[in-house]
Amino acid sequence: MNHEPENQKGGQMKDSFTERSKKLSEELERCLLADKNILVILDIMDRSNEES
């Protein structure tokens, strides 16, 4: 396979794309975790409402 040097325009674009997608996936992970936390909290609230 032919790998072009990183200092060429294509390489730089690929790098910034990789950085951006890394940031996006981290952001997505945070959102998913937050969603999960909210679901857990709602579940707990539901249970405490059922008990009273």
CA dist., res. 17 & res. 21, Å (int): 6
Encoded tokens for 5: 């040097």
Per-residue pLDDT of the chain (52 residues; tens, 9 = 90+): 566 555 556 677 788 999 999 999 999 999 999 999 999 999 999 999 988 7
Domain ranges of the chain: 28-52
pLDDT value, residue 3: 60
Q: What is the pLDDT of residue 12?
A: 76
Contact (Cβ atoms closer than 8 angstroms) between residue 8 and residue 2: no
The answer to whether the beta carbons of residues 31 and 37 sit under 8 Å apart is: no
The residues near 9 (Cβ < 8 Å, ≥ 6 apart) are none
- What is the reported pTM? 0.54
